[in-house]
């Protein structure tokens, strides 16, 4: 494998701005800005720019993760005339899916060096933190909540949702929180005193915001992350003590309604929260049954709400990615998407083997640990969250492709050429930003 020519800095800069625009919803914050359709315009400019530089990307589609996603896209095109509602797919749902998969292709093609990978991670994680701290700040200063859950008898329980300019519900805000936590833990806690101090400053408000969302799915996802942290740690007893203290502190700041909602996860509640938990499970089972109404090719991309309306009598998005796959893509499409996820996991496994066997800089070892925890957290959270036309799997898969390519390239030393400088070596001790991840 040889290092390819990098995409232009201009196009990469546009992609970074595209991420900021998308995650921070700038069109909702800047008056008149939304009239420009900035997300669409940026995507088109980046796509045209990539097409003009296409000679730089030869062979990129040979990556197993890329080829597995391309197979899914081919299936979607071929099966379109055979689905239940092809018109709805094209008219109402295709644009959301295209927007989601652009994150994969833009990441794969534009994040092509160690320096760009670090910028990408910094912007992505930074945006997620802003999305959490903004509504939390509004809650503490103005009493903002953004959402609520009906308890019955005319009563509601307030739940923290995204900021007014960030239209995400409490479960989605919880998802943002548990996405950021693994990266913060593995990349900050292992990076010196100042980074650890920053970690200790960030974690309490993140966990408090998670409590305020009352998102049971996000809480379960956090337990997945905690399991990986515990498994990797050499200080297991200390972690148990810290976990108990954090749990006790969290329990003390919860209201009775918040306590009751989380207790409903283990069947210790007899209120509407327990009813809603049981209802969610029954709803998932119903969605799987709905998927077998057209088991071969499905009802069509993005048509879960439509299928629920026609067959179940209520319009509602899916609460389970795996049921959503069956409803919209059928057994064939569901297999192809799960194959795509398996290739992502295999890429992470290969990254882990390379970074450990060849003694890579700890940053890359810890980054792969964070990404592995996020992968399994996504797998679990997807049982309570839709995702076929959402960005998160595609952006994550693109990052795995990038990391895998860079780790492989770092092992290639052309005959007679100087090996890539190692992060932390004398040559790079001031910047630690080399073109390729190196070994110690």
Residue 382's contacts (CB-CB under 8 Å, 6 or more residues apart) are 320, 321, 322
As a whole number, the mean pLDDT across the chain is: 84
Residues forming beta bridges with residue 146, ordered by sequence position: 160
Tokens linked to 152? 């019955």
Question: What pLDDT is attached to residue 69?
Answer: 96
Q: What is the percent of the chain with per-residue pLDDT over 90, rounded to a whole number?
A: 44
Q: What are phi and psi of 360, to 5 degrees?
A: -70, 165
According to DSSP, the β-strands at 146-152 and 155-160 are antiparallel
* Residue bearing tokens 């305020």: 212
Banded model confidence at residue 435, pLDDT cuts 50, 70, 90: very low
Question: What pLDDT is attached to residue 412?
Answer: 63
With the C-alpha atoms ordered 75, 81, 84, 89, is the resulting torsion angle positive or negative? Answer: positive
Most confidently modeled range among 118-127, 251-260, 263-272: 118-127
Among 99-113, 259-273, 302-316, the least confident range: 259-273
Question: What pLDDT is attached to residue 3?
Answer: 55
Question: What pLDDT is attached to residue 199?
Answer: 93
Question: Which tens digits make up the pLDDT trace of 301-324?
Answer: 988 888 888 777 677 666 789 989
Q: What is the percent of the chain with per-residue pLDDT over 70, rounded to a whole number?
A: 85
Question: What pLDDT is attached to residue 427?
Answer: 37
Whether 400 contacts 344, CB under 8 Å: yes
Question: What pLDDT is attached to residue 13?
Answer: 95
Most confidently modeled range among 105-114, 155-164, 381-390: 105-114
Question: What pLDDT is attached to residue 384?
Answer: 80
Banded model confidence at residue 116, pLDDT cuts 50, 70, 90: very high
Q: Say how many C-beta atoms besides its own lie within 10 A of residue 17's C-beta.
A: 15
Nearest to 176 by CA among 400, 381, 403: 381
Q: Say how many C-beta atoms besides its own lie within 10 A of residue 197's C-beta.
A: 11
Q: Where are the chain's structural domains?
A: 9-428
Whether 102 contacts 43, CB under 8 Å: yes
Whether 124 contacts 103, CB under 8 Å: no
Question: Which tens digits make up the pLDDT trace of 9-48?
Answer: 999 999 999 999 999 999 888 888 888 888 899 999 999 9
* Residue bearing tokens 């398996």: 342
Question: What pLDDT is attached to residue 1?
Answer: 47
Banded model confidence at residue 280, pLDDT cuts 50, 70, 90: low
Banded model confidence at residue 118, pLDDT cuts 50, 70, 90: very high
The answer, yes or no, to whether residue 418 has pLDDT greater than 60, is: no
When pLDDT is averaged across residues 64-84 and rounded to a whole number, the result is 94
Q: How far is CA 24 from CA 20, 103, 181, in A?
A: 6, 15, 19
With the C-alpha atoms ordered 99, 105, 110, 116, is the resulting torsion angle positive or negative? Answer: positive
- pLDDT: which is higher, 337 or 36: 337
């Amino acid at each position: 494998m040889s290092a390819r020519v990098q995409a232009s800095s201009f196009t990469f800069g546009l992609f970074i701005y595209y991420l900021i625009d998308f995650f921070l919803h700038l069109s909702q914050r800047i008056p008149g800005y939304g009239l420009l359709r900035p997300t669409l315009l940026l995507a088109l400019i980046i796509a045209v720019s990539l097409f003009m530089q296409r000679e730089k990307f030869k062979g990129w589609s040979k990556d197993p993760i890329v080829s597995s996603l391309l197979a899914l896209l081919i299936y979607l095109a071929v099966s379109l005339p055979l689905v239940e509602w092809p018109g709805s797919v094209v008219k109402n749902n295709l644009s959301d899916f295209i927007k989601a998969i652009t994150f994969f292709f833009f990441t794969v093609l534009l994040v092509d060096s160690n320096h760009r990978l670090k910028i990408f991670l910094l912007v992505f994680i930074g945006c997620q933190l802003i999305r959490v701290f903004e509504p939390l700040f509004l809650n503490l200063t103005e009493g903002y909540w953004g959402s609520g859950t009906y308890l019955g008898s005319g009563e509601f329980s307030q739940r923290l949702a995204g900021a007014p300019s960030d239209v995400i519900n409490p479960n989605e805000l919880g998802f943002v929180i548990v996405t950021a936590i693994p990266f913060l833990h593995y990349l900050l806690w292992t990076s010196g005193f100042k980074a650890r101090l920053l970690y200790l400053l960030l974690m309490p408000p993140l966990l408090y915001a998670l409590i305020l969302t009352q998102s049971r799915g996000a809480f379960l996802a956090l337990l997945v992350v905690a399991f990986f942290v515990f498994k990797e740690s050499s200080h297991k007893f200390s972690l148990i003590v810290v976990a108990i203290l954090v749990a006790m502190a969290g329990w003390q700041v919860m209201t009775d309604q918040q306590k009751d909602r989380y207790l409903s996860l283990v069947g210790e509640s007899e209120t509407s929260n327990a009813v809603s938990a049981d209802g969610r499970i029954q709803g998932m089972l119903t969605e799987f049954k709905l998927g077998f109404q057209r088991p071969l090719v499905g009802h069509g991309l993005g048509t879960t709400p439509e299928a629920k309306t026609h067959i179940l009598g209520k319009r509602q998005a899916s609460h389970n990615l795996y049921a959503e796959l069956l409803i919209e893509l059928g057994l064939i499409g569901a297999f192809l998407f799960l194959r795509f996820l398996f290739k992502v996991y295999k890429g992470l496994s290969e990254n882990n083997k390379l970074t450990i066997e060849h003694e890579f800089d700890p940053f890359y070892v810890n980054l792969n640990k964070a990404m592995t925890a996020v992968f399994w957290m996504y797998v679990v959270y997807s049982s309570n969250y839709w995702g076929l036309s959402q960005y998160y799997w595609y952006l994550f898969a693109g990052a795995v492709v990038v990391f895998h390519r860079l780790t492989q390239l770092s092992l290639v030393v052309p005959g007679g050429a100087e090996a890539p400088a190692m992060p932390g070596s004398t040559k790079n001790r001031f910047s630690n930003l080399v073109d390729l991840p190196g070994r110690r």
